[in-house]
Structure 1
Amino acid sequence: MRTPGVSTKKRMVASLIAILVILGGIIIRLGYIQLVQGGDLQAKALDQWTSDLPVTAKRGSILDRNGQSLAQSASTDTVLLRPNQIKDGDAEETARVLADLLEMDYDSVLEKVKDKSKGEIWLKRQVEREVVQEIKSHNLKGVAFSVDSKRYYPMNNLLCQVLGFVSVDGNGLSGIESKLNKYLAGTDGRIVSEVGADRQELPGGTEQYVEPIDGYDVVLSIDYVIQSFAEKHLDEALQATGGKKAMAIVMDPSTGEVLAMANKPDYDLNDPPRNDSELLQSLSRNSCVSDVYEPGSTFKIVTTAAGLETGVITKDSTFYCPGYQIVDGQKIKCWRHYNPHGSETLTQGVMNSCNPVFMEIAGRLGKEKFYQYIDAFGFGKKTGIQFDGEEPGILMGIQYVKNVDLARIGFGQTIAVTPIQLTTAVSAAVNGGTLYEPTLVREVRDQDGNTVESFVKSSKGQVISAANSQLLREMLEMTVKEGTGRNAYLPGYRVGGKTGTAQKYEDGKIVSDKTIASFVGFAPADDPKIVVLVVVDEPTIGDDHGSQAAAPYAKGIIQDTLQYMKVQPQYEDGENELATVEVPDCIDLDITSAAERLRAKGLSYTQDGVGGTVVDMLPKPGAVMEEGSIVLLYMSEKDDDTKLDEPVHSGDEVEVPNLFGKSIADCEKELAGRGLMLDASGEGVAVSQEPNAGESVSVGSKIKVNFGTGQ
């Protein structure tokens, strides 16, 4: 037997090493494939021989406090393509049918139909069931369907900024839809089935169905009937005043629950302007919680409450109004500086909305005590309402507050609030003194109606005493009966409230011709069931004061809501139920004829335009209004160069009536009957006029009248 030579041994060793290296490489490669790439390869393999279609969970509904659906989901389908199952000769016909029925571009659909590189393509989501049935009737190969869901809003525009909207995928993008998305969304299910290389289901193959878990229902504190009242009267306010936007909140002061929250202008939730992001952002903004403004005289409620609670004033405290007050060398005028209020009690000061009275109260409080109550009422911080994007308002740091700043804060300047802050604070001031965290969401329920989570808020503490709250209610009721809030007076109902007319700033400077008009009221005054705030931003038609541009529309909301709540009117001695009349048709009439026709019905008017004939009117002919109400007439001619103090219609000479002591509504009624127009300034009753009573002027002339409140 021959012994291998040295060279042979070396070759054998080299071969063995080579084999070991190759085996080692194979083992390493197999280990890498199995351990590192195994999961990915297994997933790819699984994808090749299984079809995994999602089953969209049904999104929970959003309901009002009485169970009325405000947002709901309906079952739809997703249309899918499996190009490998579509024969080349059938591609054009398949694309044509799908493009026609799905209202899609033919070339785009054809491109997807011919794309053999993809096993499955989502063609269109949220397709209505009747369309799907039509597609199925054509027996198209390579077309599949998956269960989907689409969001519907039965009330269209109603509560749109609060509800918000969802994406095509069903995720909340704004409003309650976004805030409570984790409750509403649910968990999607899936259908998993075995398929062959051509993506067709295998005969006898297994199929697994994972059932989706539907979302929970969300119950709001909103009452959709009261919401509809608020939106109706805001529409009227915008049309009548030419305002930039308007907001309204109705709150139950005994719980802090929001019964209505409205913003105008608005949009249809079923057709949001998704292609115009700037417009969509503007229209979907909930200004009631996200925008701040100077509250003006409505803030005097807080100043009065703080003064009463600290004892620096009492109901019988007396003040003197010379028409202004000098603070830190600055002369701050009363709104009725041209005819000072003179001596007045606290009640008269509230009724008169006299600025020097509230500057005096703020001075007596001092910044430390005043800020203590401003904080206690919830200003300068978020209220905690269940809504994203809430602003805390703007409150000057106490260390920077000078006496002149303190004086201005006393009557609602140099401080900015949100509508929800003010409504919450006023609710505390009149409900007996308890501050509640405002509530927009009551609870979350499962599909069986069981409560999953409750959001009812508890008290945040006693801000003022019940006795001082009652005293404040009485003064604010007198303000509506006899003071600056008379346009919110409702025969048979005890209404309290306060008007506000605030200045606007641009680039840090006051804009002289832009204001924010507001009114906050409550009823019944002895036991408030509702607090109503109406804010009109930049009214441009007629009087821009809160008494004219906001109070009448808050009155409408209060009246409708109390009647809906079945609160029966209780008429006092000498108080009569308001008579109602039908609005006559004034279209195509000149201003004189229209005025005569309205006067015959006991109605007065204001107009948009300076001559010609009436081309439109608000309310429309045939509508029912209370006697003494104001009808807005839109004239055919509009001349921006015509001055307000020039005659707007030539014609016969008429005698100017004596307007002293009459309300704005009565003055408008009196002048309309003579074919004249009112140019009003101030609030309350007529204290001076120009031209004087007895003078002769042309029909259509404007009569300048200053309004104030007698002691």
Structure 2
Amino acid sequence: MKKNRFHSRLTGIMYFVCILFMCIGLRLCQIQLAKKAMYRSRILNQIEAKDEEIGERGNILDQSGKQLAFNKRQYTVIIDPSKIHINEDQFLKNLQDIAEKKILDLDASFFETLEKEFQANKKYKVIAKKIDDVTKEKIKECLSKIPEERKYLFFKKEIEREYYRKDIYETLVGMVRFTKDSKEKKAGVFGIESRYEPYLAGKILTRSKYYSRDKKKVLPTSMEWMYTNLNGNNVYLTLDNEINYILNDEIKAQYDALNAEEAYGIIMDPQNGKILGISTYTRNPKDLRNQVFQNQYEPGSIFKPLIVAAALDEGLIQKNSTFNIGNGSIVKYRHTIRESSRTTTGILTTTEVIKKSSNVGMVLISDRFTEEQFEKSLRKFGLYDKTGVDFPNEIKPYTTPHKKWDKLKKSNMAFGQGITVTPIQMATAFSAVVNGGKLFRPYLVEKIVDDDGVVLRRNIPKVVRQVIKPEVSEMLVGMLEETVAGGTGSRAKVEGYRVGGKTGTAQLSSNGRYLAHQYLASFVGFFPVENPQYVILVMILKPQAESVFGRYGGTASAPVVGNIIRRISKIKNVSSQEVSKIISTKKETLEEKPRPVLGEEMPDLKGLSPKEVMNLFQSTNYDIHIKGTGLVVQQEPAAGKSLEEVNKIEVILE
């Protein structure tokens, strides 16, 4: 009986132990398998610390290295009052020393508040915001005498994106901000900042360290990371800051003088497709599109050289071909096309059609094309496709296949109506007319360089196709020079230089009808004629001159191009007798006084050329305003004045 009772108890105990071990086993399975991730996360939260490092965004610079978009490091100074109680008196003494030296602006009320927070044993107190690197080092130096200052003093780094002359460069360079896809750091949202985001963005590196239970020792399992350069790459543009300044200055002056609705300009090197200058102005401050790449216009008469070039290249006309303009009008399919000038009548040669900007002459030239030939010529000039410029969201020109044209379409397009193109498209196509017939792909970025100075990518000129023969291009260059010398473009003439170009006055339309006396006034010019280095396109939308004549391309836009050429020729090495005289004058001036050196005081700039002024301030962020042409005769601030609080420098040339 006792034996059976013992066996029963033993069996019960064994069952209990088995069930206990089963429960423990199930619990272990639950912990190690089912809830492994949860417990692992809890443990890591207790012993793991993650240190995230974000590299700085790369800079955007012009071709000479002038910073157009750059970073400004700023710091927030934070202390932990709860850890200062042992050295409180010494800390306050040093902090007062910082205030007395005017390193930080700390008044009596600040110190009263700080003492209360010491007593409350608070763990977080901001004592300064947006300080620079120099101020940071001064603060560290003043507080470094206190034992274990690293335990309670922290500098939180913040990077602010800064822009040089935002009013000029914003629609081109773009901006950065937080987006839905980039919550941890700001990303480019338009312009070059957006197009080259993968190159400009800094990298993110996350380091993990594992601590002992008391978090006083770093466990040897922690990985030691080798130095990695996390900074983004620097993007160098083809833009020339000096040329771009001149372009903006002249366009802005005319834009304001004519109270225009919009104005745009572009300067290109026709020999390679480099964009040297971009300018856009609009009355709508919320419009951040760059109109040069992202808007379409009927070009008007600046389109005529393309059609004449195509006709000459196809052998449909000759340079000495003649056209009977009659009384200055022609009827096509019950629609009368007239000359803009009543004096344009009679017999005109091909050159005179361009020189006098004859609409009727262009219609007669277009009659020699079949519709298929005409479309083929437009396609050769790239007017059915985007140019491929490295700018985001370039829009495609509005052109349709010839099978969809009405009977009047070809005649209208011949003088720049019924077709819409972007300014970049027009400047690119015109460059092919004067550079020997090569259509280049335009580009904005010269090279991309990493933070260590290694060139990662370099853009090289790309010829899309040969549009016209070199000899045809040479003929057009001669015709366009005559247009400036004694035709509709005479206001773009520059003493001592051979300049070519074409005027354009496109009548604006709305709801399918053309508006009376509302125009897009344009001029596209190039110089020097013997070896074109610059193509300059200026467009002014709805100029409000008192007379209708003052709203035409020849009066509203041609003088702007003339002024731009005059100023560029003074600062660049362009062959001319006038330039030789200026160089000689500069040499005499330089012999009389030593070259100025930039320091804490404003140097004497008198006698310097605009290029020398820009070179002197190249590595700074001063807002440089240059007025006039020639050499410096006046300056503000005056020589010898402190530059400590100066943001803007003005010089006047004569």
What TM-score comes out, normalization by structure 2 length?
A: 0.73
Q: What's 2:330 paired with?
A: 325
Q: What's 1:471 paired with?
A: 475
Cα distance in 2 between the residues matched to 1:73 and 1:373: 47
Once the two structures are TM-superposed, the CA of residue 171 in structure 1 deviates from its matched residue by 2.7
Aligned partner of 1:562 among 566, 569, 575: 569
Cα distance in 1 between the residues matched to 2:128 and 2:402: 58
Once the two structures are TM-superposed, the CA of residue 147 in structure 1 deviates from its matched residue by 3.7
List per-residue Cα deviations over 1:639-695 (Å, max 9, x = no partner). xxxxxxxxxxxxxxxxxxxxxxxxxxxxxxxxxxxxxxxxxxxxxxxxxxxxxxxxx
* Partner SS state of residue 416, structure 1: coil
Q: What's 1:182 paired with?
A: 198
Q: Structure 1 residues 244 and 364, CA, compared in 2 at 3 Å: closer, same or farther?
A: same
Residue-pair matches, total: 541
Q: Structure 1 residues 123 and 328, CA, compared in 2 at 3 Å: closer, same or farther?
A: farther
1:303 aligns with 2:307: yes
1:237 aligns with 2:250: no
Q: What's 2:357 paired with?
A: 353
Matches within 5 A, 1:22-61: 22-32=23-33, 35-47=36-48, 50=49, 52-61=50-59
CA contact (8 A) 2:344 2:358 kept: no
List per-residue Cα deviations over 1:67-110 (Å, max 9, x = no partner). 333233243335568798799xx9xx99xx9xx9799xx9xx99
List per-residue Cα deviations over 1:89-136 (Å, max 9, x = no partner). x9xx99xx9xx9799xx9xx99xx99x9x9999999865335656876
Aligned partner of 2:68 among 58, 62, 70: 70
Q: Supply the AA of the counterpart residue of 2:175.
A: F
Q: Supply the AA of the counterpart residue of 2:329.
A: Y
Q: What's 1:618 paired with?
A: none
Cα distance in 1 between the residues matched to 2:270 and 2:83: 65
Cα distance in 1 between the residues matched to 2:446 and 2:203: 23
Q: Structure 1 residues 197 and 502, CA, compared in 2 at 3 Å: closer, same or farther?
A: farther
Cα distance in 2 between the residues matched to 1:6 and 1:412: 112
Q: Supply the AA of the counterpart residue of 1:428.
A: A
Unaligned 5+ segments in structure 1 are 267-277, 572-621, 627-711
1:161 aligns with 2:171: yes
**Which is bigger in relative contact order (C-alpha 8 A, separation at least 6)?**
2
Q: What's 1:275 paired with?
A: none
Q: Structure 1 residues 395 and 41, CA, compared in 2 at 3 Å: closer, same or farther?
A: same
Cα distance in 1 between the residues matched to 2:37 and 2:125: 29
Q: What's 2:609 paired with?
A: none
Q: Structure 1 residues 347 and 189, CA, compared in 2 at 3 Å: closer, same or farther?
A: same
Once the two structures are TM-superposed, the CA of residue 360 in structure 1 deviates from its matched residue by 1.8
Cα distance in 2 between the residues matched to 1:256 and 1:516: 25
Cα distance in 2 between the residues matched to 1:412 and 1:297: 5
Cα distance in 2 between the residues matched to 1:191 and 1:82: 24
Cα distance in 2 between the residues matched to 1:491 and 1:205: 79
List per-residue Cα deviations over 1:393-418 (Å, max 9, x = no partner). 21133221122011111111111111
* Partner SS state of residue 76, structure 1: strand
Cα distance in 2 between the residues matched to 1:463 and 1:73: 44
- Quote the sequence identity (%): 29
Cα distance in 2 between the residues matched to 1:124 and 1:515: 55
Q: What's 1:393 paired with?
A: 397
Q: Supply the AA of the counterpart residue of 1:259.
A: L
Matches within 5 A, 1:367-406: 367-406=371-410
Matches within 5 A, 1:244-259: 244-259=261-276
Cα distance in 2 between the residues matched to 1:285 and 1:202: 55
Return the structure number with greater helix share: 2
Aligned partner of 2:499 among 469, 492, 495: 495
1:214 aligns with 2:212: no
Matches within 5 A, 1:325-344: 325-336=330-341, 338-344=342-348
Q: What's 1:551 paired with?
A: 558
Aligned partner of 2:540 among 536, 540, 565: 536
Q: Structure 1 residues 327 and 38, CA, compared in 2 at 3 Å: closer, same or farther?
A: farther
Q: Structure 1 residues 196 and 21, CA, compared in 2 at 3 Å: closer, same or farther?
A: closer
* Partner SS state of residue 37, structure 1: helix
Cα distance in 1 between the residues matched to 2:206 and 2:83: 22
Q: Structure 1 residues 196 and 24, CA, compared in 2 at 3 Å: closer, same or farther?
A: closer
Once the two structures are TM-superposed, the CA of residue 538 in structure 1 deviates from its matched residue by 1.4
* Partner SS state of residue 3, structure 1: helix
Q: What's 1:417 paired with?
A: 421
Q: Structure 1 residues 212 and 161, CA, compared in 2 at 3 Å: closer, same or farther?
A: same
CA contact (8 A) 1:495 1:524 kept: yes
Once the two structures are TM-superposed, the CA of residue 297 in structure 1 deviates from its matched residue by 0.4
Q: Supply the AA of the counterpart residue of 2:381.
A: F
Cα distance in 2 between the residues matched to 1:174 and 1:153: 14
Indicate the RMSD between aligned Cα atoms, in angstroms: 3.9
* Partner SS state of residue 451, structure 2: coil
Q: Structure 1 residues 331 and 242, CA, compared in 2 at 3 Å: closer, same or farther?
A: same
Q: Supply the AA of the counterpart residue of 2:28.
A: I
Q: What's 1:662 paired with?
A: none
Q: Supply the AA of the counterpart residue of 2:324.
A: Y
Q: What's 1:694 paired with?
A: none
Q: Supply the AA of the counterpart residue of 2:73.
A: S
Q: Supply the AA of the counterpart residue of 1:240.
A: A
CA contact (8 A) 2:210 2:218 kept: no
List per-residue Cα deviations over 1:424-455 (Å, max 9, x = no partner). 10001110000100011111122343321111
Q: What's 1:291 paired with?
A: 295
What TM-score comes out, normalization by structure 1 length?
A: 0.68
* Partner SS state of residue 160, structure 1: helix
Q: Supply the AA of the counterpart residue of 2:409.
A: D
Cα distance in 2 between the residues matched to 1:123 and 1:512: 64
List per-residue Cα deviations over 1:291-316 (Å, max 9, x = no partner). 11110000111111111111111111
Cα distance in 2 between the residues matched to 1:175 and 1:126: 27
